[in-house]
Amino acid sequence: MMDTLGFLLHGFEVALQPVNLMWAFIGCLLGTAIGVLPGIGPALTVAMLLPVTAKVEPTSALIMFCGVYYGAMFGGSTTSILMNTPGESASMMTTLEGNRMAKNGRAGPALATAAIGSFVAGTIATVLLTLFAPLVADFGLKFGPAEFFSLMVLAFVTVSAVLGASMLRGMTSLAVGLAIGLVGMDNISGVARYTLGVPEFVDGIEFVLVAVGLFAVSESLYTVLYQSGEGDSSVNRMGSTWMSAEDWKRSWPAWLRGTAIGFPFGSVPAGGAEIPTFLSYTTERKLTRHPKDFSTEGGPGAIEGVAGPEAANNATATGAMVPLLTLGIPTSATAAILIAAFQNYNLQPGPMLFLDNAPLVWGLIASLYIGNVMLLILNLPLVGVWARLLSVPKPQLYAGILVFATIGVFSMRQSWFDLLLMYVIGVAGVIMRRFDFPVAPVIIGMILGPMSEKQLRNALAIAQGDWLVFFKQPIAATIMGLTFLVLFVPIFLRRRGVRLSEDD
């Protein structure tokens, strides 16, 4: 333990050199900027920056890349909250409550809780990384296909929290999402499914495209079609830009819970950043004392629904460093490109890295602390500026959002077909809104469907067709047990006449 501390102190010495501070700042700034643009993810940015590894010394470059990674995770929340446009799958849950809050004049607190939550989660997760990286890495490896599938089942069961007031409508949306997720080539056998002979469909339908179509485009069109006549609403309402005492009280437990959910997920190889945000949202939805605030209930937006997923999102990003540094296994596209950066310096991430290049590893870990502080300093003053964006009159604002969405989707692969598809989905979204179908379950179905199919098939192959595998392996069985609790305990309690706070 003393060794760890000594190494870390030395790491700070490295990371606090002015030149490295500058790289961390550049990374965070760039990351935040690209996080704001839909369609450009941190993976692409880091990949584009890789050539700097030829000029800059390893520690500095890696510190900058981590800044980009963190900044992007963070920047995604800004567009989610302000424009109802999730730039990446991990910030989808933030749009649900965040954008509703912004519409009700509370963009400031929503952005602030996202910024501070990311900071809190990032810092706690970095502490966990410092202390327990090797331990956590071994645990993460225990997750095979059976364990992953159990997690997906849990996610599916808890997803009801986003289904909205009508279960039937919510399930319909989820089914639509699952169907969209089936389009394209099957990941295991390579058979093309439901492509209707359209070559563009062979590689599946991009998540960002559907999200932008369903959230940003459909909302803009909906506003034009059905709300343009309302006199007073030409400008969004503006409220305080700062968090109230009540906001703080409701945010901090959500931050901690989000971190607790996000960090372990990040450290599991191939875990992904989406499921922890789903689980964090549903946890907050279940535990809240203010169920009426949630957008799924038609409320003004609940701050814990922003705080939790944002914290989970950032904790996952830090958690992903665990298998990356200790085992050399990337858990996300960005982490994979970070490995390529290591390789450009002839460094091999893995257990040997901690032994052979201790100053670099600990410098990197120290820079994660610094990056978190830097992001907070960078973003808190911006909250006020961003929030003002909503004071643009609605016609201009929505026109701007449409332009923004169009450019973002086109930049993904320069395809006119994608644009057409985005607007078709946008129109479909308008119809869904008109008839009160929630749009979030579509995205969730689209993400979870293909993932769970693949894990189920691999799990059954490994277990030689034994469906009981999900109850025989301890971790999978525990998760399945948890799923049954979530499913049946409320019913049981209700039968016994006990009322849960959210149901009264």
Partner 1 sequence: MRKLISSLFAAGLLAAGLAATPVLAQTLKVMVPANAGGGYDGTGRILGKALIETGAFKTAIYENKAGAGGTLGLAQFANANKGDPNALLVMGAIMVTGVIQANPQLSLANVTPIARLITEYNVIVVRKESPIKDMKGLIAELKKDPGNVKWAGGSKGSTDHIGIVAIGRDAGIDSNKINYIPFAGGGEVVSALLGGHVTAATGGYAEMLKYIQSGQMRALAITSPKRLAGLNMPTLVEQGVNVEISNWRGVYGAPGLTPEQRKKLTDQVVAATKTKTWQAALKENIWTPSVITGDEYSRFVDDEHSRLRAMLVKAGLF
Question: Residue 420 interacts with partner 1 (CB under 8 A)?
Answer: no
Residues 43-62 that bind partner 1 (CB under 8 A): 43-44, 47-48, 50-51
Phi and psi for 322 in degrees, rounded to 5?
A: -65, -60
Note whether 137 and 319 are within 8 A (CB): no
Distance CA(403)–CA(82), nearest Å, equals 15
CB of 421 to partner 1, least distance (A): 13
Residues 437-496 that bind partner 1 (CB under 8 A): 454, 458, 461-462, 464
| Residues in CB range of 13: below 8 A, 6 or more apart | none
Tokens of 461: 């192959």
Distance CA(216)–CA(405), nearest Å, equals 7
Q: In this chain, which of 57, 142, 489, 492 binds partner 1, going by CB under 8 A? A: 142
Question: Residue 272 interacts with partner 1 (CB under 8 A)?
Answer: no
CB of 31 to partner 1, least distance (A): 13
Nearer to partner 1 among residue 228 and residue 343 (C-beta): 343
Piece of the chain touching partner 1 by CB under 8 A; list 120-128, 338-346, 366-374, 487-495: 338-346
Piece of the chain touching partner 1 by CB under 8 A; list 38-46, 252-260, 433-441, 491-499: 38-46
Question: Residue 270 interacts with partner 1 (CB under 8 A)?
Answer: yes
Cα distance from N-terminal residue to C-terminal residue, the chain: 50
Piece of the chain touching partner 1 by CB under 8 A; list 84-92, 342-350, 425-433, 480-488: 342-350
Place of tokens 């490109």: 337
DSSP, res 438: -
Q: In this chain, which of 8, 12, 410, 490 binds partner 1, going by CB under 8 A? A: 410
CA angle 300, 273, 97 (to 5 degrees): 0
Nearer to partner 1 among residue 408 and residue 426 (C-beta): 408
Phi-psi region of 301 (alpha: psi -120 to 50; beta: other; left: phi over 0): left
Distance CA(390)–CA(303), nearest Å, equals 18
Mask of contacts with partner 1, 17-36, x by CB under 8 A?
----------------xx-x
Residues near partner 1 (CB under 8 A), total? 72
CB of 476 to partner 1, least distance (A): 11
| Residues in CB range of 319: below 8 A, 6 or more apart | 125, 128, 129, 136, 262, 263, 264, 265, 266, 267, 268, 271, 331
Listing DSSP states for 83-124 in one string gives HS--SSGGGHHHHHHHHHHHHTT-HHHHHHHHHHHHHHHHHH
Distance CA(179)–CA(471), nearest Å, equals 28
Residues 157-216 that bind partner 1 (CB under 8 A): 184-192, 195, 197, 199-200, 202-204
Tokens of 38: 């839909």
Note whether 91 and 225 are within 8 A (CB): no
Question: Residue 407 interacts with partner 1 (CB under 8 A)?
Answer: yes
Amino acid type, 45: T
Question: Residue 40 interacts with partner 1 (CB under 8 A)?
Answer: yes
Distance CA(140)–CA(266), nearest Å, equals 9
Tokens of 209: 């495209």
Nearer to partner 1 among residue 85 and residue 172 (C-beta): 85
Nearer to partner 1 among residue 463 and residue 486 (C-beta): 463
Piece of the chain touching partner 1 by CB under 8 A; list 169-177, 218-226, 233-241, 403-411: 403-411
Nearer to partner 1 among residue 18 and residue 465 (C-beta): 465
Question: Residue 105 interacts with partner 1 (CB under 8 A)?
Answer: no
Residues 314-333 that bind partner 1 (CB under 8 A): 323, 327-330, 333
Nearer to partner 1 among residue 174 and residue 347 (C-beta): 347
Nearer to partner 1 among residue 21 and residue 48 (C-beta): 48
Question: Residue 358 interacts with partner 1 (CB under 8 A)?
Answer: no
Distance CA(65)–CA(368), nearest Å, equals 11
Q: Is residue 17 classed exposed, middle or buried when 0-12, 13-18 and 19+ CB atoms within 10 A define those classes? A: middle
Question: Residue 415 interacts with partner 1 (CB under 8 A)?
Answer: yes
Question: Residue 343 interacts with partner 1 (CB under 8 A)?
Answer: yes
CB of 477 to partner 1, least distance (A): 15
H or E segment and range at residue 164: none
- β-partners of residue 193 are 184
Q: In this chain, which of 352, 420, 485, 493 binds partner 1, going by CB under 8 A? A: 352
